[in-house]
Structures are given as C-alpha cells and as structure tokens.
C-alpha cells in the first residue's frame, strides 16, 4: 500500500463517538495527496441524519476496513454536511491509524518521501540500515506533476531497519534523515505516512503529516551522492548539541522556504537565516575604534540637546534610533565571520552582504526592491547557495556540489568554493 502515492479510497464500518454519543455507520476514507477525509452517507431521513451528528463536536472513529484492518482516528472535525444529500465529511485533526500495533519486534519502518524523486541508495550507519527505494509509481512523472501543480507529492520511499528499536526511535531517525536530505536536495523532504512492519502479515500504517514540505531552490548535492552525503554528515550531526541542531533545522527550513513565492519575501527569509545563524553560532562583534568614537560624539550631541530640551523625547526613542545604524557593522562582521568559519569564498559565489542588506531594507521600509531585478535574483541565489555550502561544510561533507553555468548543470568538488582553493 505504501506505493499508492496519489489517491486512496478505503471502505469500512465503525463507531463514531463524541461524549455520550455513539453512532455506528459505514464510511469511506479518501486520501488525495496530503489531504484525508472520512465520508459518511446514509439513506435515513434528513432530519434524523442531521440530528445524529453534532457539527460543533469533536468525534472519534473506531472501526474496521473491508480488508479486515482496524482503523482509529481520535480527533475528527465535521468539515462539511450535505443537507438534503445527507452526508457528513470529517477532517482528521490528528493521525489516522490503520492496522494494529504488536508486541512483536519491529522488523522495519517505511516512510514514503514527499518531495524526493531521485537518488536511491543503501547504506549502513551506526547500526542502522538506511535505504531510499523506488516506488511502483514512476517517480519522474510524479516529480513533473508535483512541480507543475505546485503540490507536494510522494516519490521515493525511505526504509529503515535496526534491531531492538522502538517506533519513536524510528521516527526520530527518520526525521533526522529527512531534514538532512532536505538540505542536500534543496527541497522540503518529509513524509505523510509511516508504515511499521512487525511480521509478514502484521503492519501498522499511520497517516500523519510531518512538517517541511516547502518547494526549495534545488539540489546542492548531486543525487548520486546522497548515500555518501549521509554517511559523512550523520556522525557529525549526532555530536551536535540540541540547540545547534535546532538552529540548523531552522536554517534549512528557511533556505527551502526562500525557494518559492514573491522575490521580496524570499530575500527577506534568506537574510534572516544568515543573521540568526550568525547570532547563534558566532561571538558578538564589537565596534571599531573609529566607530566607537563616532558613536560617542553622536550620543554626546544627543545628551547636550536633551539637556536643552528636557521634555523632548521622554521615552528615549530618538536616542535609541540614532544609534541603531551602529548595529549593522557588528552584524555584518558577525555574518562574515560565520562564512569564514566554514571557509566559504564569498567572492567566488558572488555574495555581497551589503547588497543583501540594502535590498532587504528596501523591502522592509518601502515595500519595494532595488530596480535591478536580475541582480536581485542573482543575489538570492548566491545567498541560498552560500548558506547551503556553509551547512555542508559544518557537517563535514567533502563530496561534490551542484553548480549551474549558462543554464547547464554540473558538479564540482565542494573544496572549489572554499578559501585558499
């Protein structure tokens, strides 16, 4: 069942419950892409059917599908009623569970991957068997549909195996791998379904939409190197503190969010990612002697003016605003230090943080960008690529990276973008 990526239609019968109300009904579970509906229709009189279901209540379902598998859904909201057509549509607010858990050990868990269509591999890492496999569907066709419709869709499947491992540990490992693949593919890689295999006959499938399905700027690691990429970066990722992981996760999300939408918002998102990583990972910079001297003179003039006009600026708002520009030189050097910590050659990738700030500030203060539209797109691409390179460098990746010149994609060693190459 894990390969039916687009449309699923399952029939069954079960009990819908809310408070003291318990109603047994046949139902149909419909799944289209990431959207799940539970549909109930009957031939009862309209007033009786409508009376049975309180549309303001939260319902649960416990039932059985026609194929014999159990189905559970704890939080169902009434999304639509059909009036004279006598139907109810429920939308799950939490997971839908098909099948049953078992006391038997978990043999493996599979995660149909949303947003990943190329790059099958198989590796062994720290006791885990990690494989990305083809599905029965044509992943290339699905990729074209996903890009054309701008709808996240399932492509390849992640398969994990490790003895004596709990389901929660499987899910934690899967999230870790999907996040790192989101960096490598330059696209949000996630899963809407998780399928645990206990033996040849017993499975438990959970429909639960994990986050992170944004359309990103595109791959930074060639798909034929995804396995090598994970083997290199997973040991480093394990050693990182939780706060470092959290900041890296947020940066990857921002990179991929900046891959689609209005250009001004995309520039703002990638600028934020550079800034919060620099603030989190680097020491705070200080003003130079000349900058300190200028700031002191400005503040002295402000204090003289304040003494002459004691009732002016009672909250000190003007005083704080006139010193605000001094924050940028420190922030810029902090961001540049972040790039230097990864040995990123900013001039080679064409990344100018002053130009990035100018464009971002223009958006923030006027709602408009600078007139050079082509330059703005180039600036966005450089900022995205630079941050991808930085994270790859921090994670210890030493393989190939994707490049594009004159519209032709290729790959070169990542070292070519490091200082001193």
Q: Is residue 20 part of a domain?
A: yes
Cα separations in angstroms, 311 against 252, 300, 305: 48, 18, 11
Residues 195 and 278 in one domain: no
- For the beta carbon of residue 52, count every other beta carbon within 10 angstroms: 15
Residues 173 and 199 in one domain: yes
> If DSSP codes are grouped into helix, strand and coil, which group holds residue 175?
helix
Q: Is residue 406 part of a domain?
A: yes
Which residue in 53, 68, 58 sits closest to 12, CA to CA? Answer: 68
Q: How confident is the model at residue 2 (pLDDT cuts 50, 70, 90)?
A: very low
Residues 387-402: tens digit of each pLDDT: 999 999 999 999 999 9
Residues 292-304: tens digit of each pLDDT: 878 788 888 888 8
Say yes or no to pLDDT of 270 above 50.
yes
Domain boundary, last residue among 215, 239, 263:
239
C-alpha 22/C-alpha 182 separation (Å) is 43
**What H or E segment, with its residue span, contains residue 185?**
helix 167-185
Residues 256 and 391 in one domain: yes
Q: Is residue 374 part of a domain?
A: yes
CB within 8 A of 76, min separation 6: which ones?
16, 38, 58, 59, 60, 61, 90, 91, 92, 93
Q: How confident is the model at residue 189 (pLDDT cuts 50, 70, 90)?
A: very high
Residues 378 and 407 in one domain: yes
Q: How confident is the model at residue 366 (pLDDT cuts 50, 70, 90)?
A: low
Residues 292 and 388 in one domain: yes
Half-sphere exposure of 131 (CA within 13 A, CB side): 12
Average pLDDT for residues 144-172, to the nearest whole number?
92
Residues 371 and 235 in one domain: no
Domain boundary, last residue among 96, 124, 155:
96
Instruction: State the pLDDT at residue 368.
Output: 64
Of 130 and 308, the one with more pLDDT:
130
Instruction: State the pLDDT at residue 262.
Output: 87
Instruction: State the pLDDT at residue 32.
Output: 84
Which residue in 390, 411, 410 sits closest to 400, CA to CA? Answer: 411
Residues 78-121: tens digit of each pLDDT: 988 876 667 889 999 999 999 988 888 999 999 999 999 999 99
Average pLDDT of the chain, as a whole number: 88
* Vertex 416: Cα angle to 412 and 420 (nearest 5): 170
Query: Is this model's pTM higher than 0.75 or not?
Result: yes
- For the beta carbon of residue 289, count every other beta carbon within 10 angstroms: 8
Domain total of the chain: 3
Instruction: State the pLDDT at residue 264.
Output: 86
C-alpha 220/C-alpha 116 separation (Å) is 13
Which residue in 350, 352, 287 sits closest to 323, CA to CA? Answer: 287
Which residue in 402, 25, 3, 370 sits closest to 216, CA to CA? Answer: 402
Q: Which two tokens stand for residue 239?
A: 């050693």
Residues 183 and 262 in one domain: no
Q: Is residue 64 part of a domain?
A: yes
CB within 8 A of 180, min separation 6: which ones?
229, 230, 233, 234, 237, 395
Q: Which domain, by its residues, includes 166?
A: 108-239
CB within 8 A of 368, min separation 6: which ones?
362
Say yes or no to pLDDT of 319 above 90.
no
Instruction: State the pLDDT at residue 1.
Output: 42
Q: Are strands 400-405 and 408-413 parallel, antiparallel or unpaired?
A: antiparallel
Q: How confident is the model at residue 330 (pLDDT cuts 50, 70, 90)?
A: confident
C-alpha 369/C-alpha 393 separation (Å) is 31
Contact 157, 132 (CB under 8 A): yes
Q: How confident is the model at residue 404 (pLDDT cuts 50, 70, 90)?
A: confident
> If DSSP codes are grouped into helix, strand and coil, which group holds residue 71?
strand
User: How remote is the C-alpha of 254 from its chain's centroid?
Assistant: 8
Average pLDDT for residues 147-158, to the nearest whole number?
89
Average pLDDT for residues 173-177, to the nearest whole number?
97
Residues 238-247: tens digit of each pLDDT: 999 999 999 9
Average pLDDT for residues 255-280, to the nearest whole number?
93
């Amino acid at each position: 069942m894990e390969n039916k990526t687009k449309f699923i239609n399952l029939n069954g019968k079960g009990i819908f419950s809310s408070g003291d109300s318990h109603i047994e009904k046949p139902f149909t579970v419909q799944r289209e892409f990431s959207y799940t509906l539970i549909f109930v229709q009957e031939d009862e009189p309209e007033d009786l059917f409508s009376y049975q279901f309180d549309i303001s209540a939260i319902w649960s379902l416990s039932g059985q599908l026609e194929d014999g598998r159990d189905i559970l859904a704890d939080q169902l909201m009434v999304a639509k009623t059909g009036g004279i057509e006598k139907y109810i549509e429920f939308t799950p607010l939490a997971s839908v569970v098909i099948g049953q858990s078992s006391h038997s050990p978990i043999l493996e868990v599979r995660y149909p991957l949303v947003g990943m269509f190329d790059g099958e591999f198989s590796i062994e890492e720290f006791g885990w068997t990690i494989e990305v496999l083809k599905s029965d569907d044509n992943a290339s066709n699905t990729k074209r549909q996903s890009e054309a419709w701008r709808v996240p869709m399932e492509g390849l499947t992640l398969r994990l195996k490790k003895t004596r491992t709990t389901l929660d540990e499987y899910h934690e490992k899967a999230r870790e791998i999907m996040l790192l693949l989101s960096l490598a593919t330059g696209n949000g890689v996630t899963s809407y379904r998780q399928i645990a295999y206990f033996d040849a006959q017993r499975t438990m499938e959970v429909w639960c939409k994990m986050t992170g399905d944004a359309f990103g700027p595109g791959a930074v690691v060639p798909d034929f190197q995804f396995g090598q990429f994970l083997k290199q970066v997973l040991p480093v990722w394990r050693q990182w503190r939780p706060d470092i992981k959290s900041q890296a996760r947020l940066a990857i999300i921002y990179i991929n969010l900046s891959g689609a939408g209005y250009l001004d918002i995309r520039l703002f998102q990638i600028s934020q990612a550079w800034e919060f990583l620099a603030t989190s990972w680097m020491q705070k910079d200080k003003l130079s002697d000349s900058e300190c001297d200028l700031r002191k003179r400005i503040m002295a003039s402000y204090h003289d003016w304040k003494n002459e006009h004691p009732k002016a600026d009672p909250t000190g708002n003007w005083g704080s605003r006139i010193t605000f520009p001094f924050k940028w030189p420190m922030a810029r050097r902090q961001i540049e230090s972040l790039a230097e910590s990864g040995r990123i050659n900013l001039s080679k990738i064409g990344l100018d943080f002053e130009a990035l700030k100018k464009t971002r500030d223009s958006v923030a203060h006027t709602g408009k960008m600078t007139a050079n539209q082509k330059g703005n797109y180039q600036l966005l691409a450089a900022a995205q690529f630079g941050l991808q390179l930085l994270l790859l460098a921090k994670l210890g990746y030493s393989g190939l990276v994707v490049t594009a010149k004159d519209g032709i994609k290729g790959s070169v060693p990542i070292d070519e973008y490091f200082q001193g190459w």
